[in-house]
Structure 1
Amino acid sequence: MRYLFAALLFSALLSGCASTPPNPNGTWINQAAIDAAVEGGNLREALLAYGPNLEWQIDSPRQQASFSNGFERGEGTFELQADGHLQVNFYGDDQESLSLNNRELIQAQSATWPEQRFVRAPAAPDPLAPLGSSFEKALYSAYLSGTWLIKEGLGERGLVVFQADGSVQGLPGTERYALCLAGDCAAMSGELDSIWLQLGEQGQSWLFEREGHQLRVFTALNRAQVDEMPDYYKGQQRWLLEQR
């Protein structure tokens, strides 16, 4: 009996020391793009420099992997390679390689994308939340955090709070907002950053500049013809907000 107990103990110690492979299951966001946007101010530059992909969702039980770049999504299945990498296969023979390094999910450089790095989302997304919403919430929380004072413009001296869920309080004529991340809205504004402001069912695009603790919002004027995609440029400044 004593020898049997020793054997069982030794087996338990061995199993406890054995390393288990890291589990990539869950939601991963491009925190580097968020940090760069907060530090530098220009959102489009940060997304282009550290993107274009903003979020990955890995479903290990189903061997499925999906990504969002803020405009479109890609869905594929993955296979675990001998070196521990995940080979993600998409429709049309497209492939991406993912790997875990400490607390980062790394998307390897490919013919389509540069190397990109992701960290786990701070909270699990709602099961019904669309792909990309975890990145969007983290971006909104960091980029527009705190309370903003209206220094100039309608509602001067009032306080504005941008919420992570896309709601906003204190900005006259506005109850919802959305930052442009990619797609048509980015093509329309070019190198400029744009934001959608909405009240009820009515809304429109505005251009903005964020520098340090100041946020300037401008009217978006369109230089395109009626039958062309809008081509926005800065008009009159509508608001100057200062982060407190």
Structure 2
Amino acid sequence: MRYPLALLACAALLAGCANQPKDPSGVWINQAAIDAAAEGQSLREALMAYGPNLEWQIDGQRGIASYSNGFELGEGQLVLDDGKRWRVDFYGDYHEYLRLKGGELLQEGSEVWPEQRFARAEPRAGGTPPGSRFETALYAAYLGGDWLIREGQGKGGLVRFHADGRLEGLPGADRYALCLAGDCASMSGENDALWLQLGEQGREWLFRRDGDTLEILEARNRAQFDEMPDYHPGARAWLLERD
């Protein structure tokens, strides 16, 4: 009778292991938001529809999980909740629940956030700052390729937006950054915004993306000098078309 009992014990042990969720360690990005934006729609609308969180970085061995929404960073303790999902405990008795489903990381809906889905980013040697993997993937999908200057200074030239924020071919700028959330989003209202910089000097611009065309507009500030800037579309500086 010992052999059947031993087999039953092994079976129970294996069943218990099988019920444990897979290790969610890695970097997970909000691919749905990237895909929606890459189709040519408003970046702001894509982020609002599929966000607000843009990236999770999870270290199961250390029991740490952190998220980025393009403005805020949050880090909490990762603990196994009920054998099927993970709970992330943040300061102030705030929790998020994560689980793996069909190769995706699912952030369960709550009173604060809707359900959100994340795709695993390709492994990369060394650590990366929170949010940077999403940003790199977004820049490549949303603005990647060569753009021809149809109107504006440098007409006829080619512009290239690199995934790391470098910018080639646009007169007066060698770096750029897309506004994802936070103060820049508040100041630009319903408009998409980006930052253009040359050396140490830079300023905010507004833009409109429609398929393979990109308008870069002056950001006109309607606020008083002692108020938060309130940017509205001004004159068109450039019209770019994806080559």
TM-score of the superposition, structure 1-length normalised? 0.90
Q: Is the 8 A contact 2:21 2:85 kept in 1?
A: no
- 1:216 is matched with 215
Is 2:22 the counterpart of 1:22? yes
Q: Is the 8 A contact 2:40 2:212 kept in 1?
A: no
Question: One-letter code of the match for 2:100?
Answer: L
Displacement of 1:123 in angstroms is: 3.9
Displacement of 1:21 in angstroms is: 4.4
Q: Is the 8 A contact 1:71 1:181 kept in 2?
A: yes
Question: How is 1:164-179 mapped onto 2 (pairs within 5 angstroms)?
Answer: 164-179=163-178
Tell me the SS of whatever aligns to 2:122. coil
Displacement of 1:19 in angstroms is: 8.7
Question: How is 1:128-143 mapped onto 2 (pairs within 5 angstroms)?
Answer: 129-143=128-142
Measured on the aligned residues, the alpha-carbon RMSD in Å equals 1.8
Question: One-letter code of the match for 2:179?
Answer: C
Q: Is the 8 A contact 2:19 2:84 kept in 1?
A: no
Instruction: Show structure 1 runs of 4+ deviating over 6 A.
Output: none
Pair 20,110 (structure 1): closer, same or farther in 2 beyond 3 Å: closer
Equivalent-residue separation in structure 1 for 2:239 and 2:62 (angstroms): 48
> Unaligned stretches of 5+ in structure 2?
1-10
Tell me the SS of whatever aligns to 2:118. strand
Post-superposition Cα deviations, 1:89-118, rounded to whole Å, max 9, x if no partner, equal 000000000000021000000111110000
Equivalent-residue separation in structure 2 for 1:113 and 1:223 (angstroms): 32
- 2:145 is matched with 146
Equivalent-residue separation in structure 1 for 2:96 and 2:146 (angstroms): 40
Question: How is 1:195-210 mapped onto 2 (pairs within 5 angstroms)?
Answer: 195-210=194-209
Q: Is the 8 A contact 2:159 2:170 kept in 1?
A: yes
- 1:104 is matched with 104
Equivalent-residue separation in structure 2 for 1:52 and 1:208 (angstroms): 21
Post-superposition Cα deviations, 1:199-236, rounded to whole Å, max 9, x if no partner, equal 00000000000001000000000000000000000100
> Unaligned stretches of 5+ in structure 1?
1-10
Equivalent-residue separation in structure 1 for 2:121 and 2:146 (angstroms): 24
Aligned residues: 230
Equivalent-residue separation in structure 2 for 1:239 and 1:169 (angstroms): 14
Q: Is the 8 A contact 2:20 2:84 kept in 1?
A: no
Pair 155,126 (structure 1): closer, same or farther in 2 beyond 3 Å: farther
Tell me the SS of whatever aligns to 2:195. strand
TM-score of the superposition, structure 2-length normalised? 0.91
Question: How is 1:55-204 mapped onto 2 (pairs within 5 angstroms)?
Answer: 55-124=55-124, 126-127=126-127, 129-204=128-203
Equivalent-residue separation in structure 2 for 1:97 and 1:20 (angstroms): 15
Post-superposition Cα deviations, 1:117-153, rounded to whole Å, max 9, x if no partner, equal 00011343742x3200000000000000110000000
Higher mean C-alpha displacement, 75-84 vs 25-34: 75-84
Q: Percent identity?
A: 61
Q: Is the 8 A contact 1:26 1:124 kept in 2?
A: no
